[in-house]
Structure 1
Amino acid sequence: MPDLAAGLLATGSGGLVGLVLGLVGGGGSILAVPLLVYVVGVASPYIAIGTSAAAVSASALGNLMTHWRLGNVKWRCAVVFATAGVVGAFAGAAVAKAIDGDKLLALFGVVMIVVGAIMLRRRGTGGNPDVRLTTETARELLPLLVGIGFGVGLFSGFFGIGGGFLIVPGLMLATGMPLSHAIGTSLVAVAAFGAATAVSYAISGLIDGWLAGLFILGGLVGGFLGTGLSKALATRKQILGTVFASLVIVVGIYIVTRGVLALTGTA
């Protein structure tokens, strides 16, 4: 069980991630690992990644229910994409645990910089809302869903993140579905990838259950507040997204710098 200070910091960090997710949508979970390492004080990058994966999976399941009720989940596409991705996530997690912790964090920082740059690009909202995975469309859709799903899952498992920022465009690329459906459908994969990564790390004893629980609790509260603020700030959504993407880049640069200094022995 963490001490009081660590518990409060974990809950607050989870709340921040939930708030960001509620305000600007997918991508907020990428802040979970750096928050656990640099704010909560988790010493091991592996425990931070495993704990983050468990928290992200639980949060995705909570948000999935809302999108399901709104009719935004393409279940057949989601199941195929997520199944292929889970295989990739287990493989990615296995590889990550064999890499030096400082190198892993430095790589994570590089990914944050790239993700921030991608998020700065405005995503289109077009697409076919009636797309379905059927016997007629399987020849076209299945190879893309399996291939892209495995690749995104591999990435997600390696870094212990939900991967929503890749899953959403991946689903749009594979199926041509619109953004609103891709966001809802992506949560199935986010939950599955996070669970697969968390199981892999849990088997190795690399998850702090108490911290994960407190992080999830904070995330639920933060998500509720973020959703309310998102409605109030709907006209400024693009500005909020730009600010968040810039924050991701800045944090990524900080992590890379810390990682390089640690690897060179000058930290």
Structure 2
Amino acid sequence: MAPETILLALAAGGVIGIILGLVGGGGSILAVPLLVYVVGVESTQAAIGTAAVAVAANALIGVGGHARGGTVKWRCALAFAGAGMVGAAMGAEIGKAFDGARLLLLFGLLMIGVGVMMFRPRKSAPDPDVRLTRDSAAILLPRLLPAGLGVGMAAGFFGIGGGFLIVPALMAATHMPLRYAVGTSLVVVAALGFTTAASYALSGYVDWPLTGLLIAGGAAGSMLGILAGRKLSAHKNLLDRLFALVVIGAGIYVVVRGV
């Protein structure tokens, strides 16, 4: 592997890790374009499989920092992730059968749509004490399970962790505050990423040396993202909007290249 490729892969992993640690998602939606257009991975499916492993591992690293801060709702995460893993396995099988160029074009359109949706204001009042218990299960599970299945299918199809979808889905289903949704989403991102990665790895679509570099860069980036997120928590809305603009811009680039 060329030295410049190694440096680019480490840098791409760092970007993914910072975004995951900072906003609980979104690193994965930039991972595939970074691998294709910056690092130079030629196969879209290989980029998706490699990104899935790296994003899942980086999310797992990030979970530790959020767990120590007490911002992970474990039972909600496990319920959402359980349904999401089923969806991710289904989505990955469909994604592998798609033409690579068409898949990348659809990916770009998804990025634009998600970026636009991130500008929508959140209307629900936050409930920091929400818990998935025997008493609340009748209300929360019918919301968490369908949301997890749908997000999982998208994550598997596009090879993304889905954090940018998981965070608003968790908030809508449980009314948990943003900081809890960010921490909780990383558990789900890891579960969905590993499910998608397993499917692509069995089909030979994972570049393992490149994955190692992405994880190494992402580990450092994740810690920086978590620290920055704590310091910039008062400007969370501004950060979300800036990130949304980045996602939209990258999506437009992917679509233009695809067309």
Which TM-score band applies after superposition, normalised by the shorter structure? over 0.9
The separation in 2 between residues aligned to 1:85 and 1:161, in whole angstroms, is 12
- Matched with 1:265 is none
| Residues 17 and 219, structure 1, Cα contact 8 Å, conserved in 2 | yes
What's the TM-score, normalizing by structure 1? 0.90
**For residues 90 and 232 of structure 1, what CA distance do their matches in structure 2 show?**
37
Against the structure 1 CA distance between its residues 129 and 230, is the aligned structure 2 distance closer, same or farther, given a 3 Å change threshold? closer
After superposition, the Cα gap between the structure-2 partners of 1:236 and 1:75, relative to the gap in structure 1 and judged at 3 Å, is closer
Change (3 A) 1:77 1:232: closer
Q: CA deviation at 1:5?
A: 2.1
**Large movers: runs of 4+ above 6 Å:** none
Q: Deviations over 1:78-99 (max 9, x none)?
A: 1111011000000000000001
Structure 1: 5+ residue stretches without partners: 261-267
Instruction: Write the mapping of 1:149-188 to structure 2, written as runs, cut at 5 A.
Output: 149-188=148-187
2:78 alignment partner in structure 1: 79
Larger Rg: 1
Distance of aligned partners of 1:22 and 1:185 in 2 relative to their CA distance in 1, 3 Å threshold = closer
Give how far 1:162 is off.
1.0
Contact 2:21 2:62 in 1 (8 A): no
1:199-218 equivalent positions in 2, closer than 5 A:
199-218=198-217
Return the alpha-carbon distance in structure 2 between the equivalents of residues 24 and 77 of structure 1: 19
Counterpart contact for 1:125–1:178, Cα < 8 Å: no
CA distance in 2 between partners of 1:111 and 1:226 (Å): 24
2:63 equivalent to 1:70: no
The residue number in structure 2 matching 1:33 is 32
Structure-2 residue corresponding to 1:223: 222
Check conservation: 1:18, 1:221, Cα contact below 8 A: yes
Shift of 1:233: 5.1
Q: Is 1:124–1:179's contact at 8 Å kept on the other side of the alignment?
A: no
How many residues were matched structurally?
259
Q: Deviations over 1:131-176 (max 9, x none)?
A: 2222222222212211111111001111111111111111122222
When residues 41 and 173 of structure 1 are mapped into structure 2, their CA distance, relative to the original with a 3 A threshold, is same
Deviates most, 76-85 or 174-183 = 174-183
RMSD: 1.9
**Equivalent residue of 2:130, what SS?**
coil
Q: Measure, in 2, the Cα distance between the counterparts of 1:257 and 1:156.
A: 23
Residue range with higher mean Cα deviation, 223-232 or 103-112? 223-232
Residues 86-132 of structure 1: per-residue CA shift (max 9 Å, x gap) = 00000000000001000000000001101111223344684222222
The CA distance in 1 between the partners of 2:235 and 2:142, in whole Å, is 38
1:1-267 equivalences in 2 (<5 Å): 2-123=1-122, 126-230=125-229, 236-260=235-259
User: Are 1:27 and 1:165, in contact at CA under 8 Å, matched by a contact in 2?
Assistant: yes
Moved more, 96-105 or 249-258: 249-258
Question: Which amino acid in structure 2 is aligned with residue 218 of structure 1?
Answer: G
CA pair 224-80 structure 1, distance change in 2 beyond 3 A: closer
**1:63–1:226 Cα change, 3 Å:** closer
Is the alpha carbon distance of 1:182 and 1:20 closer, same or farther for their aligned partners in structure 2, counting shifts above 3 Å?
A: closer
Give the AA of the match of 1:54: V
Gaps of 5+ in 2: none
Instruction: Mark the CA change 1:167 to 1:24 in structure 2 (over 3 Å): closer, same or farther.
Output: closer
